Amino acid sequence: MIRINLLPTKEAQRAFDRRQQLSVAALGLLLAVLFMVVPYMLQSRRLTTLDQEISQLRSELAKLDEQTREVRDLDKKRAELQAKLHVIDDLKQKRVGPVRIIEDLSAATPEKLWLVEFNDVNALATITGLALDNQTIATFMRQLQSSKYFFDVDLVETSQSEPVRGPAAGEGARFKKFIIKARLDYLGAGGKSAAPPSPSPATPAKSGA
């Protein structure tokens, strides 16, 4: 049997148009999906790369922090070692200092001057003695000041002594009694090894008749 398609031409055209519209709609939907998926994939890949870079940077930062702590520990240990060496050196110098102080005190004492008493309290020396005259006392102070172990040498008091009898002094001789204060530097730096305490107000020298 032979069949003949008797559909009108318009019906065929409308069917063809509907198929085209469906094809265009499907293509548009596909393109829309691609426009949404492709950027998401690219962004996801970029985020993965950034996460890897961040992880690497954090690892490097942790290493730097560890190195910084090690450096700080080394600096602290070096400072502690230097402090200990300074203390040891200071003790060695102070062990020798008192001997040198007595030596310089003896070397600075001129003839016609006799030391009666020497006191050392907190690196402040008080020297009491007798001298033939004021010029001898001045010479003693000048020679004492030239020592590296004495500084801030100051005459506190002078007075006329009672008559002294004896072969060295002569019969009934009178001397100048003096009191001198001076600061001591056990390290022999002339007062530069440590800042001296604040000086007390100057005491006027008392002159005896």
Reported as a single tens digit per residue, the pLDDT across 63-122 is 888 888 888 888 888 887 777 676 656 655 555 567 788 889 999 999 889 999 999 888
Q: Is residue 12 part of a domain?
A: no
Q: In this predicted structure, what is the pLDDT of residue 206?
A: 45
Q: pLDDT under 50 in the chain at which residues?
A: 6, 166-167, 196-209
Q: Is residue 47 part of a domain?
A: yes
Q: Is residue 158 part of a domain?
A: yes
What CATH number corresponds to the domain at position 165?
A: 3.30.1360.100
State how many domains the chain has: 1
Question: How would DSSP label each residue in 179-197?
Answer: EEEEEE-TTSSTT-SSPPP
Q: Determine if the pTM surpasses 0.75.
A: no
Q: Is residue 4 part of a domain?
A: no
State which residues form the domain around 122: 22-209
Q: Is residue 201 part of a domain?
A: yes
Q: Is residue 9 part of a domain?
A: no
Question: How would DSSP label each residue in 114-162?
Answer: EEEEEEEETTEEEEEEEESSHHHHHHHHHHHHTSTTEEEEEEEEEEEPP
Q: Is residue 190 part of a domain?
A: yes
Q: Is residue 168 part of a domain?
A: yes
